[in-house]
Amino acid sequence: MAQSDTTALLDRAEIRDEATANKYLDLATEAEQRGDRMGVIDALEAAFVADPDNPTTCFRLAYHLDLVGEEDEALHLYEQCAQRPSPHINALLNLAVLYEDRQHYAKAERCVKQVLSTNPNHRRARLFIKDILASQQMIIEEEPQSGMDSQHVMLDTPVTDFELSVRTRNALRKMEIRTLGDLLRVTEADLRSYKNVGDSSLEEIKAMLAQRGLKLGQALEQQQSAVKQQVIDKLRTDGGNEELLERSVGELQLSVRARKALSLLNINMLSDLCMRTEAELMGVKNFGMTSLLEIKEKLTDIGLSLRQLDA
């Protein structure tokens, strides 16, 4: 179907029924075959409007939004999928990934356990539940404080409750860093990049965290560690060579453009690369489909792959 025909059909959103939804789903399939990812999303969104009760459409739209980095919209749709009777297994698992990324470990655990309740031998779910449980056991060496009887309560404590200067508090507020947990999800480089956070504010924040056995970027490090273990577990299960992960990305002999893109993401080892999804790479400025296909081909040649969401 020509692009003009596609646009004309997408404009007729006033007809909301199953037949119209099927037309949009056909358009989505055609766009998928062309490699037109945004065209897929446009068509699926129209199909979802026409027939919002179709669980397959809901999942496909969530999946493709997830691929392009629209995680908030994808999460909302995955949640709708999860609320249906006999939800799509991959919807539950992809929702669990998004929950884990946001450190909503209890919600992630519920999603995976829902999968295991109906499919106790599901390989990915069995691996993932181990990562989630490990993340939940994050150790925080804190001083005894009245009213803080759990780690969760501590991480949810507003930064305004700690002894910080007005200038530092204002800077954190403008960066939308509200809680102690938010601070653990940013790095020193993130704070330095903000014009209102100077050396004195940075040292003040680091000292406050150090008093509680914490440090900037701690949550990110733990999340990356869990993701790396997931990559290793999958490689072991697939019979791959785990030692490859410790090699430099330079061994892939990539083009200059691809190397620069990976450098911007501070990807130096193959393990760093395999922990990334297509969406994360495509989100880098000037990183195009050509570079993505090049990287995927090079990884495939040595038995590795990028981190994938289940379709």
pLDDT of 215 reads 86
Whether the per-residue pLDDT at 6 is higher than 50: the answer is no
Confidence of residue 16 (pLDDT cuts 50, 70, 90): low
CATH superfamily of 151-216: 5' to 3' exonuclease, C-terminal subdomain (1.10.150.20)
Residue 172 CA to residue 215 CA, distance in Å, equals: 16
Q: Any alpha helices (H) in the chain, and if so which ranges?
A: 3-10, 18-34, 37-50, 55-67, 71-82, 89-101, 105-118, 123-136, 151-155, 166-174, 180-184, 188-192, 199-210, 218-237, 256-264, 270-274, 278-282, 289-301
Domain ranges of the chain: 151-216, 219-301
Fold identical between 151-216 and 219-301?
A: yes
pLDDT in tens, 258-286: 888 788 778 888 888 888 888 778 777 66
> Which of these CATH numbers, 1.10.8.60, 3.10.129.10, 1.25.40.10, 1.10.150.20, describes 219-301?
1.10.150.20
pLDDT of 8 reads 44
pLDDT in tens, 200-242: 888 888 888 888 888 888 887 777 777 777 777 777 777 777 7
Whether the per-residue pLDDT at 153 is higher than 80: the answer is no
